Amino acid sequence: MQIQTNASLRSHHTFSIEQSCDMLVEASSIEDIQQVYSNPDWQAMPKLMLGKGSNMLFIEPFQGLVILNKLRGTTVTESEHYWHLHVASGEDWPNFVRWSVEQGYFGLENLALIPGCVGSAPIQNIGAYGKELKDVCEYVDVLELNSFEVKRLSAEECQFGYRDSIFKHALYEKVVIVAVGFKLEKKWQPHIEYGPLKAFDANTVSAKEVFEQVCQVRMEKLPDPTVTGNAGSFFKNPVISELQYQQLLAQYPNLVAYAVEGGMKLAAGWLIDNCQLKGLTLGGAQVHPNQALVLVNQGHATAQDVVDLADHVRQTVWQKYGIELEHEVRFMGKTQETNLLELRGALK
């Protein structure tokens, strides 16, 4: 277990903004994590379990202990109709999806190239092109921080929702995800109902073709965080009532939306784009010129620049459409998580 004090976090989150933490620990085993949380010298310190940092913005120096998830390993078993994959939470998600397709374990291809690690996927219930993590998740193994025992939660117990799960609510800061179980059908069925995938023929398309198409689209649309600092989609797609949708549609006939349980889900990127915000720059932060849903670090951005820009986008969309955007990216303050509402207050 490697330990650093007053460590830089710049290379540990994809916004690549210079920030620091009091202590940085690399955990390569469940025992390492247990030691960190049970060490009496560190008991009072705020703690943050960090994977790839692909969905995190550090607002200011973190006055606590950051634990880098380095848990590794994948095992495969099978039943009559399914492949069952048990994957350590520190595995890189894009590499895992690529490996699964290459090995013939299909069902994850729509989720290709989503940055992050396997253990972060259930927290966000990541999704793309009509598929979500919950569709392929069999279970999640967690380390309970009060008993230091590993417990298995079924997919149902994870209470998955749109970019949501029990890990953001009842189990927030009470468990650490150590592994995820996937259940993939041997009789593969393509999911090609969204975006450019609709051009495929369901009778002839292969999982590899879907995977390659998703990768191509993501590489064309989204900036590479290894080149331009960003955390992917910054805002969630808002869900509004059917009534509000019809009212907006009367004003904006090109409004992009689709029906979901509880109303209509709007494309946040469309809302931002149609506020003419693409390319807008504040300090060193910018609304990406090609993808309005992504805020980027142009190389010299501060965390405050990103917060200012995010709030400007939120205010502008509210003033034009009466819709409040909620950020998908996590904001980490000195000792705990925060958000735009706490930092800037309610919309006016």
Catalytic positions are 163, 233, 328
CB 140 within 8 A of CB 181: yes
Sole residue written with tokens 């670090």: 297
Nearest to 123, CA basis, from 113, 137, 111: 137
DSSP 194: S
- Euclidean distance between CA atoms 207 and 56, whole angstroms: 31
Calculate the alpha carbon distances from 140 to 1, 126, 145, 170 in Å. 24, 14, 15, 15
Element at 280 (helix H, strand E): none
175-213 burial: b if 16+ Cβ within 10 Å, else e: bbbbbbbbbbeeeeebbbeeeebeeeeeeeeebeebbeb
CB 287 within 8 A of CB 277: yes
CB 85 within 8 A of CB 54: no
Residue 81: what are its φ and ψ, rounded to 5°?
-115, -5
Sequence-ordered list of residues with C-beta below 8 angstroms from that of 79, at least 6 positions apart, any chain: none
3-state secondary structure of 59: coil
- Euclidean distance between CA atoms 156 and 139, whole angstroms: 8
Say how many Å lie between the first and final Cα of the chain, rounded. 49
DSSP 181: E
- Euclidean distance between CA atoms 270 and 325, whole angstroms: 12
